[in-house]
Copies of this chain bind each other. A is one copy, B any other.
Amino acid sequence: MREKPIGIFDSGVGGLTVAHAIKQILPGESLIYFGDTAHLPYGDKSEESIRYYSEKITEFLIGHNSKAVLIACNSASASAYDHLKDKFGGKIILLDVIDPVVEFLSGRNFGRIGVIGTKRTISSGTYEHKIMKKSSKTTVVSLATPLLVPMIEEGFIFDDISNAIIRTYLSNPLLSEIEALILGCTHYPIIKNQISKYFNFSVEVVDSARIVSLALKEVLERNNLLNPSAAGQDIFYVSDYTDYFERIARMFFERDINLQKADIWT
């Protein structure tokens, strides 16, 4: 059981920032990653569709022997985590990328926290709802920043265009006087430094990848499921294959990966 891989899924490449953090914190573990590239991006799909996709993918990961399943996508965490807990909760360890961040922040006593993410994540109100339930003195303000994902994927980072787009979003009065900003999308760690710089490093920019990896480590330890042997092979599946996708995956995982197509929709 302990040698089994950790299942991770996302709509595409974004979850690879989380996969990368897991490999750093838990180098002994093997990963099985699923990117639902046939339906990417999830950020503008309906809640109903995201639940359906997430359920089928979780079945796929369980069917491929995962000892735990991590939803490495904020849109899916916001829309489908409760549904997946109802379906699979007793059978497997299930984590999302939102709850560990909420837990982490609840000990920090921030007065005002901002969240940025996709339209799906923000309109769900999940961060606001969960943080304010834990910390009644914290105000949470949230803003959809949907151009950031395609901007990053097209390589517009650390340049004038990305600075202008970031400035346009982050200068929204809603975000004034925040003490921390949650990067509520797994693509955003790529531009974390640029966002910190926008705030002149006076706002704590919270990147969930490391926080989630530590939560995963803790739950595996607690269940005596940490892999005691050396890491096996990581496996990466996508539901639609393009060369382009394989190329940008490098930016997110910081090394080359081999993608295999898994026909789970047709």
Interface of A with B (CB < 8 Å)? 37-40, 44-46, 49, 52, 119, 146-147, 149-151, 153-154, 156, 160-161, 164-165, 168, 240-242, 244-245, 265-266
A49, A146, A241, A266 pick with most chain B CB within 10 angstroms: A49
Q: By the criterion CB–CB under 8 Å, are A44 and B245 in contact?
A: yes
How far is B245's CA from A147's CA once the two chains are assembled, in angstroms? 15
CB distance from A240 to the nearest CB of B (A): 5
**From B38, B147, B153, B242, contact of A156 by CB (8 A):** B147
> How many monomers of this chain does the complex have?
2
Which residues of chain B are within 8 angstroms of A147 by Cβ–Cβ distance? Answer: 150-151, 154, 156
Q: By the criterion CB–CB under 8 Å, are A49 and B240 in contact?
A: yes
How far is B165's CA from A265's CA once the two chains are assembled, in angstroms? 35
CB distance from A52 to the nearest CB of B (A): 7
Q: By the criterion CB–CB under 8 Å, are A266 and B52 in contact?
A: yes
How far is B43's CA from A244's CA once the two chains are assembled, in angstroms? 11
Which residues of chain B are within 8 angstroms of A46 by Cβ–Cβ distance? Answer: 240-242
Query: What are 30 inter-chain pairs, A to B, with CB distance below 8 A?
Result: A37-B45, A38-B39, A38-B49, A39-B39, A44-B242, A44-B244, A44-B245, A45-B240, A45-B242, A46-B240, A46-B242, A49-B240, A52-B266, A119-B244, A146-B150, A146-B153, A146-B154, A147-B150, A147-B151, A147-B156, A149-B150, A150-B150, A150-B151, A156-B165, A160-B164, A161-B164, A161-B165, A161-B168, A164-B164, A265-B265
